Amino acid sequence: MSSNVTRPAFSCSEVNRGLTNIGPETHPLTWRYSTHGQSILDIKTYEAMEGYAALRKALTEMKPADVQAEIKASGLRGRGGAGFPTGVKWSLIPMGPDAGAKYMVCNADEMEPGTFKDRMLMETNPHQLVESMIVSAYAIQAKRAYIFLRGEYIEAAERLNAAIQEAHAAGYLGENILGSGWGVDLMVHTGAGRYICGEETALINSLEGRRANPRSKPPFPQIAGLWGRPTIVNNVETVSNVPAILLRGADWFKGLSQGLSGDAGTKLYGVSGRVKHPGLWELPIGITCRELLYNHAGGMREGLEMVTWLPGGASTDFLMPEHLDLAMDYDTIMKNGSRLGTGLIMVVDNRHNIVSVVRNLEQFFARESCGWCTPCRDGLPWTVKLLQSIEAGQGQAGDLETLDQMTRFLGPGKTFCALAPGAMEPLQSALKFFRPEFEKGIAAADSQQSGNSFR
């Protein structure tokens, strides 16, 4: 396996292209990278840019309950896809002297197709995540913290491990941090593939060295998680907001959305597909997709038209051009039949056949199913087969109705985790918006009668 090939030159997503006036007051997640002009890899540079100031403040001026209260008041919601209020999640963790061992876990598995935001945060600013994890661990009084990082993120692993070493040497990790009497250790655990590891209970099983099947809930991880102990799992982007909230306050964080949304803070938005300038932008939560796509990503490439878009990953419902003016926040996108998901949009242009697009999506889900629940394990490969025959113009009468049925049989509440319902979101919305495209793939009735059934 070894090779003497030199590693390809490091390359990062384009971040905040075209944005001006980037600073700590407006861009808590990316201002350091954007103003420094390159990744912040050494602790001195990070410290010179307010680095570890929030940790110092938390450990010297705030009790764990104060940190939790500030996060709750800030309105921060989980950026891993579900949008669950972070402060509420934290408040479910048992506190007090009898609470025993607890764990803080960062979900850095980032495998939702279309998503590349956590990679950027870790590659450009590893100390920011390290500080965020230490402060979050303090808030819940965890004895140990883990970053569950997907194995393919080689640079992120190297950079995080180097940052952890520097943080140890500087007294920010280990025992008695900053003389507070409290201490924690932080470890990077690298995975070995499989999308399902991102589901938080599957992630816990994986971290325990088991197959990454999700767990039946309840109990939720806040009560019984890693090794049966109370555990918080938060996404990279979620925890990365924590230090800035402690430094500048919950009210400042709420104001970041500039009244565009009832949600608080900024969001890392991204655009991919055949647009002029794909990339990532940190913007007030609640900007419209139109602004993101046309003002920031430059619109479609020459000669292409947008047909439909996915607002936040493979497991979100398609939205249409008429939805471009919706605020990209959790509640608005939900009310309009989809989910914000990870907030990184994918644009489908007019050169694509929508049936092929959906077939590709369902192939992904079919392959990544962990196999525990029958509807998911058997329904997804069946869905793929139906889509393949429709794509080839050989669908049979009743196939679309079978697909409709799948969206119910694999829908919410039928399986142990959200993979199967997530897989049905693009399918059900495509069947709703593009039904004639699917109908075109149903072979004419007479060719079916003439024995065209050997599939």
Ligand X SMILES: Cc1cc2nc3c(=O)[nH]c(=O)nc-3n(C[C@H](O)[C@H](O)[C@H](O)COP(=O)(O)O)c2cc1C
Residue among 169, 227, 321, 450 that touches another protein (CB under 8 A): 227
199 part of the interface to ligand X, by CB under 6 A? yes
CA nearest neighbour of 408 among 428, 390, 435: 428
Which of the listed partners (another protein, ligand X, ligand SF4, none) does 191 bind, with a CB threshold of 5 to 8 Å by partner kind?
another protein
Q: Is 84 in the site for ligand X (CB under 6 A)?
A: yes
Residue 175, Cβ neighbours under 10 Å: how many? 10
Taking the chain, what is the end-to-end CA distance rounded to the nearest angstrom? 41
Q: Using CB distances below 5 to 8 A depending on partner kind, what does residue 416 bind out of ligand SF4, ligand X, another protein, none?
A: ligand SF4
Coil/strand/helix, residue 348: strand
Q: What is the SS3 string spanning 217-232? A: CCCCCCCCCHHHCCEE
Q: Which stretch binds ligand SF4 (CB under 6 A): 47-55, 186-194, 373-381, 429-437?
A: 373-381
Residue 372 interacts with ligand SF4 (CB under 6 A): yes or no: yes
Single-letter code of the amino acid located at 246: L
Minimum distance between the CB of residue 410 and ligand SF4, rounded to whole angstroms? 8
Binding to another protein by CB under 8 A, coded x per residue (else -) over 67-106, reads ----------------------------------x-----
Span of 66-74, 233-241, 248-256, 366-374 interacting with ligand SF4 by CB under 6 A: 366-374
Using rule CB under 8 A, residue 306 touches another protein: no
By CB under 8 A, is residue 115 in contact with another protein?
yes
Are 119 and 272 in contact by the 8 Å Cβ rule? The answer is no
Q: Which of 419, 424, 442, 443 binds ligand SF4 (CB under 6 A)?
A: 419
Contact range with another protein by CB under 8 A, out of 67-75, 109-117, 260-268, 282-290: 109-117
- In order, the DSSP letters of 236-276 are HHHHHTHHHHHHH-HHHHHHTTTTS-SS-SEEEEEEEESBS
- To ligand X, the closest distance from the beta carbon of 446 in angstroms equals 43
If phi > 0 it is left, if psi is from -120 to 50 it is alpha, else beta; for residue 30 that is alpha
Q: Nearest approach, Cβ of 207 to ligand SF4 (angstroms)? A: 17
Question: Given strand 266-273, what is the order of strands in its sheet?
Answer: 279-284, 266-273, 344-349, 306-310
Quick one: tokens of 221? 């991880």
Site string for ligand X, 64-83 (x = CB under 6 A): --------------xxxxx-
Q: Is 195 in the site for ligand SF4 (CB under 6 A)?
A: no
Partnered with residue 288 across adjacent β-strands are 327
Residue among 51, 113, 198, 225 that touches ligand X (CB under 6 A): 198
Long-range Cβ pairs for the range 208-213 (8 Å, 24+): 211/370, 212/370, 213/370, 213/371, 213/372
| Residue 319 contacts residue 294 (beta carbons within 8 Å) | no
- Tokens 């039904």 correspond to 435
Strand positions, DSSP E, 54-192: 103-108, 144-149, 185-190
Contact call for residues 149 and 108 (beta carbons, < 8 A): yes
Residue among 78 and 375 whose Cβ is closer to ligand X: 78
Residue 451 has φ and ψ, to the nearest 5°, of 85, 25
Tell me the three state secondary structure of residue 116: coil
Total residues at interface with ligand SF4 (CB under 6 A): 14
Which stretch in 99-107, 233-241, 409-417, 424-432 sits in contact with ligand SF4 by CB under 6 A?
A: 409-417
Which of 125, 342 has the CB closer to ligand SF4? 342
Report how far residue 368's alpha carbon sits from residue 411's, in angstroms, rounded to the nearest whole number.
17
Task: Candidates 46, 75, 109, 213: give the one binding ligand X (CB under 6 A).
Answer: 109
Q: What are phi and psi of 219, to 5 degrees?
A: -75, 150
Look up residue 383 and give its two tokens: 């869905």
Closer residue to another protein, CB minimum distance, 116 or 438: 116
Residue placing its CB nearer to another protein in the complex, 74 or 316: 316
Binding segment for ligand X among 164-172, 252-260, 413-421, 426-434 (CB under 6 A)?
413-421
Stretch that binds ligand X, among 105-113, 137-145, 162-170, 443-451 (CB under 6 A): 105-113
> Judging by beta carbons within 10 Å of its beta carbon (0-12, 13-18, 19+), is residue 117 exposed, middle or buried?
buried
Q: What, of ligand SF4, ligand X, another protein, none, does residue 344 touch, CB below 5 to 8 Å by kind?
A: another protein
Footprint on this chain of ligand X (rule: CB under 6 A)? 78-82, 84, 107, 109-112, 196, 198-200, 233-235, 238, 417-419
Footprint on this chain of ligand SF4 (rule: CB under 6 A)? 196, 214, 369-373, 376-377, 415-417, 419-420
Footprint on this chain of another protein (rule: CB under 8 A)? 1, 3, 5, 7-8, 11, 13-14, 101, 110-116, 118-119, 144, 150-154, 187, 189-195, 206-212, 227, 270-274, 278-280, 310, 314, 344, 346-349, 352, 357, 360-361, 363-364, 367-368
